[in-house]
Structure 1
């Protein structure tokens, strides 16, 4: 890995890659293999991408066999296990070293503008000029915090999961977690294990079984993404999404902690987590929540069977795979007492943890290429503006486009397109 210092004049390069996470490293590897001169710029002081923003007890939710960047698939002894945060970061740094990625860390890109058929790129370490620019900034850029956060009393500590590191970081007392995606669900378990009283405002992220028909569910989703089109199953391709908004839907709720396991909201409730509906507002020290918890739980539990299970079953049949029969999920109608308001003082809630995801921020672009969602208009990562590319965004071409298991396919295509220019 070549890390250079800033300050040289006349910095011109064929291709600039913006972002040094898994997407940036994958496209750098592919550009190098294609013989394209390039430079990668990373705003952080060290490589490791957004994984460095995860909490201390974080584990990948996808098994080790899915750690598969181009030229360096997982080769360890535990393919069905799950890497903790620091090992994911270490893998990315080793990958950059082995691939000889030309990277400048501590260099934030602040503006990308057209310049004589190429691009003028302003950075915290001075300007660059490039014939091509690849946006590899990822999907985890700006923490999304609801506007109602400003109405929560000042004595209650508020953190986004982006800032959360461990239970000791929070003041004594009960914790309200808003959102039940993968981060919200796993942190709820962590805080419960630490002896904290946890309140959980339930979103509509789907639950999924950790294992289905003899395999980790991620194995089936990877197979579907890679080989489903070969047997006429295209449900994990971007063209099959019901709307552009669906690109930002949350991932299925599972956990990679303790060797990997299912995460079920009703079970968390039985273990002491207090479940509530959607957080709708703040009124004189009370939190107002929706009264549709039963409907939300039913929707969360039904989603896998409505969307993913039929695709997996169809793939197993079409590909003539011998797999065990599906085990029906046991009926569960447990519900906690219903509440439409929570009094912060009465419940002893001293902190709120926003597990509400992130939003894209490509405001560095001085180019008219973003749609109403802030997503670049493109075809297979080739944007409408000649020479500008994107890689590593959610659902760029399919379900795996932002994942360690899938980003390499998009990166290879984009590198070929740049080389052909």
Structure 2
């Protein structure tokens, strides 16, 4: 389940093992969540360190760190290169035991399998953190899944909420357009708070439980 990079990597090795398998993907086209990431997203690592098994990601001309669109092009070509058996759009509603098999209930019908691998990721189920005072904030609140570009339509304040490393890239490209507070959970005990104001990114103002 899942046609993102994790699902494609699993598919690559199942193909090498000559297994009988299928990849179910809820998206309408290749690229998975990469299709919905913000416009200015770049990887934090060069192409040669961001490859899927079997085929290195080509370098992007003029970009030391590949853009979102380059990644989408790469995974699209990867699917075709290895002729991975992907069915889309298919939404899985549940997986249940059924004698010696597993019953997969989807919006296109039921399927049975001996093994199910979940590679769905978290993009479709965002979890905004419960920040104290959040209800009192008068500006616009955005989760990373809602952010596409700096065009917020106002000069007010914005709160960016996410629980991933990549979300730092969104506020970086938002600088100069709004005052922003970002809150990222580093682990179960600590929280790092960044303030972005007057176009200056990444000022650490506190770490607390």
TM-score range, shorter chain: 0.7 to 0.9
Match of 1:176 in 2: 158
Q: 2:135 aligns with which of 136, 151, 161?
A: 151
- For 1:199 and 1:77, how far apart are their aligned partners in 2? 31
Match of 1:127 in 2: 110
Contact kept, 8 Å, 1:19 with 1:136, in 2: the verdict is yes
- For 1:36 and 1:79, how far apart are their aligned partners in 2? 40
Q: Deviations over 1:207-230 (max 9, x none)?
A: xxxxxxxxxxxxxxxxxxxxxxxx
Normalising to structure 2: TM-score of the pair? Answer: 0.81
SS at match of 1:127: strand
Distance change in 2, residues 1:172/1:76 (3 Å): closer
- For 1:47 and 1:151, how far apart are their aligned partners in 2? 37
Normalising to structure 1: TM-score of the pair? Answer: 0.43
- For 1:47 and 1:186, how far apart are their aligned partners in 2? 23
More helix by share: 1
5 Å matches for 1:71-110? 71-76=54-59, 81-110=64-93
5 Å matches for 1:288-367? 293=206, 296=207
Match of 2:180 in 1: 199
Q: Tell me which structure has the larger Cα radius of gyration.
A: 1
Contact kept, 8 Å, 1:111 with 1:122, in 2: the verdict is yes
Match of 1:50 in 2: 33
SS at match of 2:19: coil
SS at match of 1:73: coil
Match of 2:168 in 1: 185
Distance change in 2, residues 1:123/1:146 (3 Å): same
Q: Deviations over 1:208-258 (max 9, x none)?
A: xxxxxxxxxxxxxxxxxxxxxxxxxxxxxxxxxxxxx67xx99xxxxxxxx
- For 1:80 and 1:272, how far apart are their aligned partners in 2? 23
- For 1:97 and 1:276, how far apart are their aligned partners in 2? 44
Q: How many residues align?
A: 204
Aligned-pair CA distance for 1:183: 4.2
Aligned-pair CA distance for 1:67: 2.3
Q: Which has the higher contact order (CA 8 A, sep 6+)?
A: 1
Distance change in 2, residues 1:145/1:84 (3 Å): same
Aligned-residue CA RMSD (Å): 3.3
SS at match of 2:146: coil
- For 2:136 and 2:35, how far apart are their aligned partners in 1? 28
Aligned-pair CA distance for 1:29: 1.3
Where in structure 1 are there 5+ consecutive unaligned residues? 1-17, 206-244, 251-264, 278-292, 298-421
Match of 1:306 in 2: none
Distance change in 2, residues 1:112/1:156 (3 Å): same
